[in-house]
Amino acid sequence: MTRGLFVAGTDTGVGKTVVTAGLTGWLRDAGIEARAVKPAQTGYPPDDDAGMVAETCDDADAATCLRRLEPALAPRVAAEREGVDLSYEAIREGCERVLSEPSVEAGIVEGIGGLRVPLAGDREVIDLVADLDLPTVVVARSGLGTLNHTALTVSALERRGVEVPAILLNEYEGASVAERTNPAEIERMTGVGVETMPQLDLSDPSAAIGGLRDAVDEWSPVDAVGD
């Protein structure tokens, strides 16, 4: 398969799509043909993470979604309620197919909710992460409560043999003691480098892509997919 990254979250709504859009745009600006992949989208419409990434990158080919489901629930539950077949093997093979396309130099696979979200059958999001065997960036909240969720997420990934090159704390303001001390504490707990990023505006592509690039100091997706 092609080079790539997985973007995993500690929960839903932590900023995976913002990071996916920023990383995809960053790579494309660097001359690397990157494509984001959303394995399954629930809550569609109105939620459309792949569409948001494509719009941010100003290119319909910048992102693709393998399966869309209307209920805003875990994919397995949403499929069951709609009476549709959602096969884990089809999702995994679909991701592998996109990542293997000759025109794709780097794939950015965006997760669904947190790692233990039921994906299809008896498989969860973490199973897809492990099967795709991509280095995984963890996106987490910045404020109070993030220590436990972030450390558990990193531990779960490492137990499955998944490399975690970076943790991104989203919507960082440094307004509280918890926010200001969380980055160093998470690094101590996990041994993984932590980057902080402000809230990015996806309606402004240059702000979303440039904002992530400006915020991240010690890690680069260009280096991560360049091996």
Q: CA–CA separation, 83 vs 207, rounded Å? A: 41
Rounded mean pLDDT of 90-103? 97
Beta-sheet pairing, 194-196 with 34-38: unpaired
Rounded mean pLDDT of 118-125? 98
Q: CA–CA separation, 4 vs 175, rounded Å? A: 34
- pLDDT, one tens digit per residue, over 130-139 is 999 999 999 9
pLDDT higher than threshold 90 for residue 163:
yes
Which residues make up each annotated binding site?
Answer: 13-18, 42, 49, 110-113, 170-171, 198-200
Give residue 227's pLDDT: 56
pLDDT higher than threshold 80 for residue 98:
yes
Which residues make up each annotated binding site for substrate?
Answer: 42
Which residues make up each annotated binding site for Mg(2+)?
Answer: 17, 49, 110
- DSSP codes of every residue in 21-65: HHHHHHHHHTT--EEEEES-B-STTT--HHHHHHHHHT-GGGEEE
Task: Identify whether 38 is a catalytic site residue.
Answer: yes
Give residue 96's pLDDT: 97
Residue 206 — pLDDT band, cuts 50, 70, 90?
A: confident
pLDDT higher than threshold 80 for residue 1:
no
**Phi-psi category of residue 103: left, alpha or beta, with phi > 0 → left and psi -120 to 50 → alpha:** alpha
- pLDDT, one tens digit per residue, over 32-62 is 999 999 999 999 999 999 999 999 999 999 9
Provide the whole-model pTM: 0.96
Give residue 159's pLDDT: 98
Least confident of 39-53, 120-134, 155-169, 192-206: 192-206
- Other CB atoms within a 10 A radius of the CB of residue 63 amount to 28
Give residue 201's pLDDT: 78
Q: Which of 28, 38, 123, 141 is catalytic?
A: 38
Which residues make up each annotated binding site for ATP?
Answer: 13-18, 49, 110-113, 170-171, 198-200
pLDDT higher than threshold 90 for residue 200:
no
Mean pLDDT, rounded, of the chain: 95
Residue 205 — pLDDT band, cuts 50, 70, 90?
A: confident
Which domains does the chain possess?
3-215 (3.40.50.300)
